[in-house]
Amino acid sequence: MDFRRTDSLATNASLLERLKDLEDQASWQEFCATYRNLIFSFALRHGLSPTESEEVVQETVITVARNLPQFRYDPKRCSFKTWLFNLTLWRIRDQLRRRRPQAASMQHKPGETDRTSTVERIPGPEGAQPSVLWEEEWRKDLFERALDKVKAHVEEKRFQIYDLYALQGWGARDVARSLGVSLAQVYLTKHRISALLKREIQRLRNE
């Protein structure tokens, strides 16, 4: 199994550079496929409906397109993760303001811009900080993307063993009995696929 450059996603820096060409449909499709679920889930966790959350996805993509010419990829100053977080949060704010025009707290204060303390003006569900929710969704999305990548590179039965034992919480003996494999094979499969997942997650983090 090989997860090296020949089959990996482009780095964020490379992808963002390609996205500056609005006619590069392949790169925009890649961006949407990569980040759509993250943005959608984050919006849902702020109490938006599926329809509103889909609008957040679309509007965030449009905002990315509009801001890319001014964006400079420099992880030391502002990571792509933080940049996308802010763009998504602003679009969630827009949806909440449309739903509740009377919510004065969603309006800018005098002299305030989109880049001023936006994070603190939008409460998450049950008082959770938006940055905490974003981190949770980012990690969940990272795991799911890594899982999809690993699944495509392992035998179906091996992945089924891992899915039942590690993800669905079946007992090792139940998995072995159901799939007709030994206990040792269940344990070994979990160990090997867990290692592949860890490696793939790290690769995605480094992009």
The pLDDT, as a whole number, for residue 207 is: 62
Does 30 fall in a domain? yes
Does 76 fall in a domain? yes
Does 130 fall in a domain? no
CA distance 44 to 134: 12
Does 108 fall in a domain? yes
The pLDDT, as a whole number, for residue 15 is: 78
Each residue's pLDDT tens digit, 103-128: 444 454 444 444 434 444 455 555 56
Does 90 fall in a domain? yes
The pLDDT, as a whole number, for residue 27 is: 85
Does 78 fall in a domain? yes
The type of residue at 173 is R
The pLDDT, as a whole number, for residue 33 is: 87
- DSSP H helices in the chain: 12-19, 25-44, 50-67, 80-99, 118-121, 130-151, 156-162, 172-179, 183-205
The pLDDT, as a whole number, for residue 110 is: 45
The pLDDT, as a whole number, for residue 53 is: 95
Residues of the chain with pLDDT under 50: 1-11, 103-106, 108-121
Residues 6+ apart with CB under 8 A from 183: 172, 173, 176
CA distance 188 to 155: 14
The pLDDT, as a whole number, for residue 78 is: 61
CA 198 from centroid of its chain's CA atoms: 16
What's the CATH code of the domain at 48? 1.10.1740.10
Each residue's pLDDT tens digit, 153-164: 999 999 999 999
The pLDDT, as a whole number, for residue 58 is: 94
Domains held by the chain: number: 1
Range of the structural domain that residue 27 is part of: 5-124
Does 152 fall in a domain? no
Does 57 fall in a domain? yes
